[in-house]
Amino acid sequence: MKDYDSPHWEHFEHMADIGVRGFGATPEEAFAQAALALSAVICDPASVREMEKVEVECEAADLELALVDWLNALIYEMAVRHMVFGRFQVDIAGGRLKGIAWGEPLDPLRHRPAVEIKGATYTELEVEREAGGRWRAQCVVDV
């Protein structure tokens, strides 16, 4: 059985597009898991080798806006660097989010990317601490 207390991610339904959702013990963990869900929209994150490290930074005064900004920063880096990512680390302190993404150049034959992501949206956007104590970070992405 799945351990629902350990960090994990999932996709959720949206008619035209797809929702990404991460769970973790802290907002940082939930954000990193949501980023994995984002990667999984494109390809299997487990198929991505950790060859390069990319750092991004954004504002984090409002956690929900920070989630959208974080995911959009990753979408931008994937687009201009022609990369896919398979692991993430997030730190939030002093109203700033600092994130690291590990990945490699996109190889269409090996990664078989399903779809390109246009942007993260404010639809179904929620960053919340659930009753049981774990954090959930989610939104819909436009593909």
Partner 1 sequence: MNIDRLERLDACTWRLNPESGMRVPVILYGDEALIRAMDDKVLEQAANVAGLPGIVQASYAMPDAHWGYGFPIGGVAAFDAGAGGVVSAGGVGFDVSCGVRTLLTGLKRPAIEPVKTLLADTLYADIPVGLGSHGKIRLDAQGLDAMLKGGAQWAVEQGWGEARDLTRVEEHGRMEGARPENVSARAKERQRAEMGTLGSGNHYLEVQEVTEIFDAGSAQTFGISEGDVVVSIHCGSRGLGHQIGTEYLRLMQGAAKRYGIALPDRELACAPIESEVGQDYLGAMRAAINCALANRQILTHLTRQVFARVLPAARLELLYDVSHNTCKFEEHLVEGKRRRLHVHRKGATRAYGPGHPDLPAAFAETGQPVLIGGSMGTASYILAGTSGSETLSFASACHGAGRSMSRHQATRTWQGREVIDQLAERGILIRSPSYRGVAEEAPGAYKDVHAVVQASDRAGLARLVARLEPIICIKG
34 is a contact residue toward partner 1 (CB under 8 A): no
Residue with tokens 């995911």: 71
| Cα distances (Å, whole numbers) of residue 38 to 12, 20, 95, 139 | 11, 6, 23, 10
Residues 59-78 that bind partner 1 (CB under 8 A): 65, 68-69, 72, 75-76
The amino acid that residue 66 corresponds to is A
Interacting residue with partner 1 among 56, 90, 120, 137 (CB under 8 A): 120
- Of 87 and 111, which CB lies nearer to partner 1 in the complex structure? 111
Percentage helix, strand, coil for the chain under 3-state DSSP, each rounded to 5: 30, 40, 30
126 is a contact residue toward partner 1 (CB under 8 A): no
Interacting residue with partner 1 among 1, 4, 13, 46 (CB under 8 A): 13
Interacting residue with partner 1 among 49, 118, 126, 129 (CB under 8 A): 118
115 is a contact residue toward partner 1 (CB under 8 A): yes
The residues of the shown chain that bind partner 1, judged by CB under 8 A, are 11-18, 42, 65, 68-69, 72, 75-76, 79-80, 82, 106-108, 111-116, 118-123, 125, 140, 142-143
